[in-house]
Structure 1
Amino acid sequence: MNGGEGTSEAEGADPVPLSALQHAVYCLRQAALIHVERMWADNRFTAEGHVMHAVADKGGGRRVRGTRRVMALPLASRTLNLTGVSDVVEFIPDGEGETAFPVEFKRGKPKLHRADEVQLCAQALCLEEMTGRPVPEGALFYGETRRRVVVPFDDELRRLTRDTIAALREVLVSGRTPPPTTQRQRCRACSLLSLCRPDTFARPVRAWRRRMVEASLAEQVPS
């Protein structure tokens, strides 16, 4: 690994998990609930995601038309204090060696937010540090469309990725969970909704209990 002479941006702190960056972009509170408070709950979306990663998680490698393909490759960045495992990294011959091309498997289809892109870009930053060579782009493979979406790692995405890493690192180091997101539409697909916002479920239950009690009392009143 070519770690360079740089030092970690959070010397002595635990590494930031690459997988947590997707949570942090979607909702920083969700990331804290999972990685600080150690809460987790599966729903249909998370279960489908587990199935999508089943093959890549087995690891191993092979060569396809001259391209070396490595599954479940461990990644790390000392300067950004990141660690994790890629789904697939393709090493493409380019005349001067090989250029890394990370591929991340996702369930569903492309999203309006950039959570998937940030997670992929963070893998590229690790690969650049590990190989000492630029990683200009990668791809997201979505299970619903069965197609790759090529993601260029431009300055804007790299800046967003570094900002997300910094924000998540601050949460992990402080141990403080941020308040719920104001983007309530994202809560509907979140498997942690009942843990994050218990009042969302408590109010309907209380209302139902009150109706049942009132109905029971009404039946007891003599006509």
Structure 2
Amino acid sequence: MLSLPLASKRLNLTGVADLVEFQGETPFPVEYKRGKPKLHRADEVQLCAQALCLEEMTGQRVPTGALFYAQTKRRSTVPFDTQLRALTEATIADLATVLASRQTPPPTPHRTRCRACSLLELCRPESVNRPVRQWRDQMLSKALEAP
């Protein structure tokens, strides 16, 4: 599977699409996910962000894309309607605010989301929620046990 680098100067956004099919001149992004569809819209927002990048890059409107979930082996079409586009742009703006603050946000209280997160090793929420002394003591203990 070939991935495609994406960018939008207007949104100050870069990323990589898993797959972009072309239906004539119209790009059709496809995002592959390991699990199953989620109860929130994060996957749809990610796909819509890809569509916004593709629109800027190609000059073509991208009306739909698809999410393929490996667990269900189903591909579902996602229409990029006004509501999803607004949610996506608001999410991008919120992320820009977090990045501009140069402060790491606290981990989500929804711990079940962490298992499937690609940033888990960078975030390390289990370390953030413990007192520093407890973490330090645990790290020292591990270091002393090592041969």
Pairwise TM-score range, normalised by the shorter structure: 0.7 to 0.9
Cα distance per residue 1:77-117 (max 9 Å; x no partner): 11111111111101102xxxx11100001001111011111
Gaps of 5+ in 1: 1-55, 60-71, 207-223
Identity in percent: 66
- 2:143 maps to none
Cα distance per residue 1:125-169 (max 9 Å; x no partner): 011111111100100011111110111111111111111111111
Distance 2:123 2:5 in 1: 33
- 1:88 maps to 19
Q: Does 1:77 align with 2:4?
A: no
Question: Aligned-residue CA RMSD in angstroms?
Answer: 2.4
Letter in 1 for 2:12: N
Cα distance per residue 1:52-88 (max 9 Å; x no partner): xxxx3xx3xxxxxxxxxxxx11111111111111111
Q: Does 1:173 align with 2:100?
A: yes
Corresponding residue SS for 1:85: strand
Letter in 2 for 1:162: E
Distance 1:174 1:194 in 2: 17
Distance 2:97 2:68 in 1: 30
**1:41-60 mapped onto 2 (5 Å cutoff):** 56=1, 59=2
- 1:129 maps to 56
Distance 2:4 2:123 in 1: 34
- 1:196 maps to 125
Q: Which runs of 4+ in 1 moved over 6 A?
A: none
TM-score, length basis structure 1: 0.53
Cα distance, 1:151–1:195 mapped onto 2, change above 3 Å: same
- 1:117 maps to 44
Distance 2:11 2:33 in 1: 24
Bigger radius of gyration: 1
Letter in 2 for 1:151: V
Letter in 2 for 1:74: P
- 1:162 maps to 89
